[in-house]
Structure 1
Amino acid sequence: MKQQLNSFVTWCRRYISVTFVIVLAFVFFVLFFNDNSVMHSFELNQRINELELEISENEDTLQHYRRLNRALNTDAETMERIVRENYHMQRPSEDVYIVE
């Protein structure tokens, strides 16, 4: 056992220099613990993708409400239908029965 450890230490001294260890530690620090690390970049890219998806969903909703607004401004029948369905409004001579 001691012979194997001794041969490992000899191999390390022969092939691994102090400069190599310092450079390796620096690269490890930059890749994983820096503000611009790989992990941080991955998290930011994931957040960007989530926000882009949310933007596309909100754009679809915005288009829906723009179409609805245009229909309400141009078509009196559409406005009357929506007002009657959503707000239960009625004419004075009508009776409204709500069935659930």
Structure 2
Amino acid sequence: MSIWNNKYLKPFKNIYLIVLIVFVVWMLFFDAHSWLFHHELNSDVEELEYQKDHYRNEITKDDKAIKELSTEEGIERTARETYYMKKPNEDIYIIEYEDSIVKQKQDE
């Protein structure tokens, strides 16, 4: 009994089917324009799109901060709230709640 007389291997006697299978395997895995290469490029594109959206949001926030800091009131508010600056005749009292103190200790 020959190996080619097996009912499962009969379709592989056709040379066109063998060439087609080799071509499909080559195009999917080994070619320069393979499916794997395109899949990797598509994932890179998705990551770059996410980064683009993130940086656009950051630019919008920075534009708002610049507009706020372009006025005297905005500069004074930022200096008082962020850097705890004060005028010569003022006293500043910083009130910390227990929630914020515990949270700071856990972060360290």
Q: Normalized against structure 1, the TM-score is what? A: 0.75
Match of 1:6 in 2: 5
* Contact preservation (8 Å) 2:11, 2:17: no
Q: State the 1:46 CA deviation.
A: 1.9
Mapped pair 1:82 → 2:82: no
Match of 1:28 in 2: 25
Alpha-carbon spacing, 1:10–1:60, altered in 2? closer, same or farther (3 Å): closer
Alpha-carbon spacing, 1:58–1:9, altered in 2? closer, same or farther (3 Å): closer
Match of 2:43 in 1: 46
AA in 2 matched with 1:46:
S
- Structure 1 residues without counterparts, runs of 5 or longer: none
Matches of 2:69 and 2:44, distance apart in 1: 37
AA in 2 matched with 1:16:
N
Which of 60, 65, 76 is matched with 1:63 structurally?
Answer: 60
- Structure 2 residues without counterparts, runs of 5 or longer: 97-108
Q: Normalized against structure 2, the TM-score is what? A: 0.70
Aligned length: 96
Matches of 2:21 and 2:75, distance apart in 1: 70
Alpha-carbon spacing, 1:4–1:36, altered in 2? closer, same or farther (3 Å): closer
| Alignment deviations for residues 28-87 of structure 1 (CA, whole Å, 9 cap, x no partner) | 1221123321122112112211211211121111011112112211x2111111111111
Matches of 1:10 and 1:26, distance apart in 2: 19
AA in 2 matched with 1:97:
Y
What's the % identity of the aligned pairs? 28
